[in-house]
Amino acid sequence: MTDTLQRPYVAQPQRVEPVISMVDIGMTYPNGKVALVDVNVEIPEGDFVFLVGPSGAGKSTFIRLLIREQLPTAGRVVVAGRDLSTMRRSQVPALRRRIGIVFQDFRLLPAKTVYENVAFALEVTGATGAEIRKRVPRLLNLVGLHEHDEHLPAQLSGGEQQRTAIARALVHDPAMLIADEPTGNLDPVTSWDLIQLLIQINAMGTTVLMATHNQEIVNAMRRRVLALEHGTLVRDESGAAYEREY
Amino acid sequence: MRLLRFIAFSVVRAWQGFWRNAMMSLAATSTVVLMLVLLSGLLIVLAGLDSGLQYIESKVGVTARLQDNLAQEDIDTLVTYIEGLPGVLKVDYIPPEEALERLKQVYEEQGQTLDLGGAEITLYASVEIALTDANQASAVATALEERPEVELITTRQDNYDKLLGIIGYIRTVGFIALALVGLTVLFMIVNMIRIAVYSRSGEIEIMRLVGASDSFIRWPFILEGILCGVIGAIITIILVAVAWEPIKPIMVRVFQMPTAVSTEFLAVLSAVILGMGLGVGALGSWISVRANLASAA
């Protein structure tokens, strides 16, 4: 009998590649306002993470750095294996197709139908008509809006509008979905419906980062929480509750 | 295929954008038409004057009016003398009868008849000297001044210089006016595109967020400016083509030059109008897109 056989089997934790890696991130705006200080975060693929913090804590800057709308004044941001600081401008669109993003105010095009809003995201990236006809109905089905595809945003409820925005964000099959206060304009019941949808999307393998003020949702979900305060990451805890440490 | 889809996308979006801000687009197109009509007018006038200049240049010569009642021998001696001068191509003796015929012909061309009231007139005899080089006119004239057979010497050099001056003046004034109108057109197109960019800022933001490349964001706006210039050019070409028939006889009458109103000239003029329209539209929208979409992507 060899040593190997005598040794009890211990499952080794698998190293999951981070889809997001922020190393020593600092961000100071030209007017001198310090938005982020020495932030270090790794988000593995498939994670569901809440980003919490009071207004002005640096959540928006955090998100803007991830989609390379801004570059940090210190440190390194790596998304899906790409260092955003060294990324050429021409490569940014490809990065953004790897990251879906939704906002509190939905940002739908009011003159376009649900179908057209989702199709638009494919159209402007050069997708073929066949691709559009194949992908859009599948996404509208996923978010439960296949029967509303001819409706204009004004004819939809807030929850339905946010679902349309989610369908649009998923149109390029992104590795990550960033939701910036997605329930901010929704009633509690609709908010929970939306969270269920995000959980479903996460279960399909998409990493989800959700910035929120919604204490009830954070507490109930018991997922990883990143808490920012005055630009500093004051808490990074898995299975955490929403705490008012700020 | 991807390139074709990109072109189709950009053209459709440019067309939609053009009509979405219809008032602004039509105002910009109108200024393009104004500029191109002005350009066409200037080019037509300059072409006429240039033709006139070329004609005079080719005909610049010296005419010597002769003394009355010269003997044929004297005339022959004079002609031989002139033929021996440097720069002389050809010498024609015009007897008084032929001079009278020519005068009658000039009247006929103007739709009139030379009415002498039954009187008999005798015009001066002359020699017309064609030159190999227009610059020799003064030397030939000086040489003829010493000849007793010659009463008066005229050259076309004065006309030539005068016409050259007029052309230079018209060209300068015309191009200054064109430059001013051109600047107005540029300003209109820059503004048209700026308004289009602002009115579609929501769409542009979404395009950026979903990963549309710079070209997908910018080219529809550039094409919108080009569309404005091209539509303006087409309207101008139609206007010029419609006005062409009435213009032709006026041109022939004023400049006496059929070359200035040939079909070939109309084709060249149309190409210039189209090129200018396209160029000013592209330049205006490019300036605007650079200024207003600098942070796109």
Contact assignment for B211 to A93 by CB distance below 8 Å: yes
Question: Considering only alpha carbons, which residue of chain B is nearest residue A94?
Answer: B211
Which residue blocks in chain A are alpha helix, DSSP H? 3-6, 59-66, 92-97, 114-123, 129-142, 158-169, 188-203, 215-221
Average model confidence (pLDDT) for chain B?
Answer: 83
Answer yes or no: do A109 and B202 touch at CB < 8 A: yes
Give the separation between CA A226 and CA A224, rounded to whole angstroms.
7
Cβ of A125 and B2 within 8 Å?
no
Would the CB atoms of A128 and B207 count as touching at under 8 Å? no
pLDDT of residue A6: 43
What stretches in chain A show pLDDT beneath 70? 1-16, 239-246
From residue B77, give the alpha-carbon distance in Å to each of A79, B72, B135, B136: 101, 9, 25, 21
Q: Which pTM value belongs to this model?
A: 0.69
Q: Where are the domains of chain A?
A: 17-61+68-98+174-241, 103-171
Q: Does B253 touch chain A (CB under 8 A)?
A: no
Q: pLDDT band at B182, cuts 50/70/90?
A: confident
More confident residue, A209 or B71: A209
Contact B205, A107 (CB under 8 A): yes
What does the pLDDT read at residue B58?
A: 65
Chain A residues with CB under 8 Å of B12 CB are: none
CB contact under 8 A, B207 and A124: yes
Tell whether the model's pLDDT for residue B140 goes beyond 50: yes
pLDDT band at B171 (very low <50, low <70, confident <90, very high): confident
Q: Is residue B297 very low, low, confident or very high in pLDDT (cuts 50, 70, 90)?
A: very low
Interface check for A91 against chain B (CB to CB < 8 A): the answer is no
Read off the pLDDT of residues B116-135 as tens digits, 9 standing for 90 and up: 777 777 788 899 888 887 77
CATH superfamily assigned to domain A17-61+68-98+174-241: P-loop containing nucleotide triphosphate hydrolases (3.40.50.300)
Residue B257: pLDDT band with limits 50, 70, 90: low
Residues listed for chain A? 246
Phi–psi pair at A204, nearest 5 degrees = -80, 0
Strands of the sheet with A48-52, listed across from one edge: A99-103, A176-180, A207-211, A48-52, A224-229, A232-237
The whole-angstrom separation of Cα B33 and Cα B152 is: 52
Phi/psi at B127 (5° precision)? -120, 135
Tens-digit pLDDT profile for residues B87-123: 888 899 999 888 888 888 877 776 777 777 777 777 8
Task: For chain B, count helices (H), then strands (E).
Answer: 9, 4
Q: Which chain A positions have a beta carbon within 8 Å of B211's beta carbon? A: 93-97, 125, 172
pLDDT of residue A30: 93
- Put simply, the answer to whether A109 touches B5 (Cβ < 8 Å) is no
B8-52 pLDDT, tens per residue? 888 888 888 888 878 888 888 988 898 899 888 888 888 777 777
Q: What is the pLDDT of residue A1?
A: 38
How close B191 gets to chain A, by Cα (Å)? 24
Amino acid B296: pLDDT: 42
Q: Does A87 reach chain B within 8 Å, measured CB to CB?
A: no
Q: State residue B45's pLDDT score.
A: 81
Question: How wide is the angle at C-alpha B123 spanned by C-alphas B118 and B126, nearest 5°?
Answer: 160
Q: What is the pLDDT of residue A2?
A: 39
Nearest to A93 among B2, B203, B297 (CB): B297
Provide the 8-state DSSP code for A127. Answer: -
Give residues 134 to 193 of A whose Cβ lies within 8 Å of B.
Answer: 168-169, 171-172
Q: How far, in Å, CA of A60 to CA of A55, rounded?
A: 9
How far is the C-alpha of A60 from the C-alpha of A66, rounded, in Å? Answer: 10
The pLDDT value recorded for residue B274 is 95
List domains and CATH numbers for chain B: 9-56+161-292 (no CATH), 61-155 (3.30.70.3040)
